[in-house]
Amino acid sequence: MTPGFQFELESGQYWGAVGMIPSYDSSDDYDVRLYEDYTGSTNGFDTYHVNSSWGAGYTDFVVVNRNVTSSYGPYYVGVIRYSAGNDSFSIHQSNSGATLSKTSINGPFTISSFGVLGMHEVYLTAGTWRVYMDNVSGIADLGLTVYDKAGDYFQKNDFISGGYANNSGNGGDETCTFTITEAGFYGIAVWKFNSDDYGIASTYYIAVSDDLDPPTPNPMTWGIDPYPVSTTEIRMYSTTASDPSGVQYFFDCQYSTGTGGSDSAWQASTYFADAGLDPNEVYGYKVKARDNSVFNNEGSLSNIEYECTYIETPTGISFSTVFTTSLYAKSTNTPSNLNSGNSGLVVENITAGTSSDWKHDNNWWYSSGLSTFNAPPCSI
């Protein structure tokens, strides 16, 4: 056993922890024990509160809840060599600070290169809660555990049911969801996983909320389906969604036969206009919603709706060879995608009362039945 480590809690600190991480060698196996007082002990610290023993190479830590013990300390921690090791490890204390917010992101918090954990306190009411740890800096494998408001002393493994997460590996984020039946001040620990994380600094944020559901309806629905207003713009409205924390909307352009076609940003409005599109092209849209809670709970996308921009209006009529009683005519401009779907042009001979069929091109149309010296009687 190594010499004991003494620590105390200060005013405003209600949760304290001391942890140990082996230095590099994954075969080193140490336990951590928490004592009230080992003054004068001659028997290897016989009496202790809790013992944390996660096996070779893993971190261990012990936790004190001053909300229950009502004592600032001092408390004492001993590190015990369980199996062969070179007595090389780092020991680290972390006390909680201000109570975590449940309406905003908390942090940043940092675990130093040779640190072990960060200890936090949060007030929770009865119900189902989610804790999310965002590992934003460093490649350490961080775990997350939650401890009961009613306990006094804890070892690493004494987390509440559902209050454990360590699934994402190096640099990954972690989330746990759990249900509690009593309100109170609960402890949250964020910790390095094993000796591979020795010497790696980490920065993280924490979010806590009982708002776990996305807005309704879910999946999202359309208020007014996408509709064209010009050759280059399509507009649309989603249904107005409902959520206690407020709602944001995201319009997703998922299909396009032309260029352009943009997604919206997350926005408070149910209205979106997509401009800068190509004439006579098809665009497909979906919409979804998320709430304004700390987790931004996101719903599913709506069904896709397709709409086509308007085709350009013919700007006039042009003539090629003009004969005594006939001529060739076509549109002065060639509208886009005449061969797409039901698109097309019709050229009319007003005098003869004839017209071309719907044309999927702007080739010359031959019109006869004209009278000598009449002005070309065509429209398009």
In terms of Cα–Cα distance, which of 212, 155, 191, 171 is closest to 34? 155
Domain 5-209 annotated CATH 2.60.120.380 = yes
Choose among 285, 326, 322: nearest CA to 306.
Answer: 285
Are the C-beta atoms of residues 94 and 70 closer than 8 Å to each other?
no
Domain 222-308 adopts which CATH fold? Immunoglobulin-like (2.60.40)
Which token pair is 333? Answer: 């401009």
Q: According to the model, what pLDDT value does residue 372 have?
A: 60
For residue 329, which of 340, 337, 341, 321 has the smallest C-alpha distance? 321
What pLDDT does 1 receive?
Answer: 44
- Give CA separation, 306 vs 16, 233, 257, in Å: 58, 13, 11
User: pTM for this structure?
Assistant: 0.79
User: Tens of pLDDT along the chain (380 residues)?
Assistant: 455 688 899 899 999 999 999 987 778 889 999 987 766 554 555 678 999 999 999 999 999 999 999 999 889 898 888 876 666 899 999 999 999 999 999 999 999 999 999 999 999 999 999 999 999 988 999 999 999 999 999 999 999 999 999 999 999 999 999 999 999 999 999 999 999 999 999 999 999 999 999 999 999 999 999 999 999 999 999 999 999 999 999 999 999 999 999 999 999 999 999 999 999 999 999 999 999 999 999 999 999 999 999 999 999 999 988 888 888 999 999 999 999 889 999 999 887 788 999 999 999 999 887 766 555 555 66
CA distance linking residue 140 with residue 135, whole number of Å:
9
Res 87: pLDDT: 64
The structure tokens 């009687």 sit at 377
Strand order across the 174-180 sheet = 106-111, 202-209, 127-137, 174-180
Q: Shortest CA distance to 124 belongs to which of 210, 240, 238?
A: 210
DSSP 8-state symbol, 11:
T
Report the distance separating Cα 159 and Cα 36, nearest Å: 21
Q: Are strands 317-322 and 326-331 parallel, antiparallel or unpaired?
A: antiparallel
Which amino acid does the sequence have at 196? Answer: D
3-state secondary structure 217-268: CCCCCEEEEEEECCCCCEEEEECCCECCCCEEEEEEEEEECCCCCCCCCCEC
Both tokens of 224, joined, read 């007014």
3-state secondary structure of 195: helix
At 85 the pLDDT is 64
Q: Do 222-308 and 5-209 have the same topology in CATH?
A: no
CB atoms under 10 Å from CB of 199, counted, come to 14
Question: What are the boundaries of each domain within the chain?
Answer: 5-209, 222-308, 313-380
Q: What type of residue sits at position 146?
A: V
What's the pLDDT at 81?
84
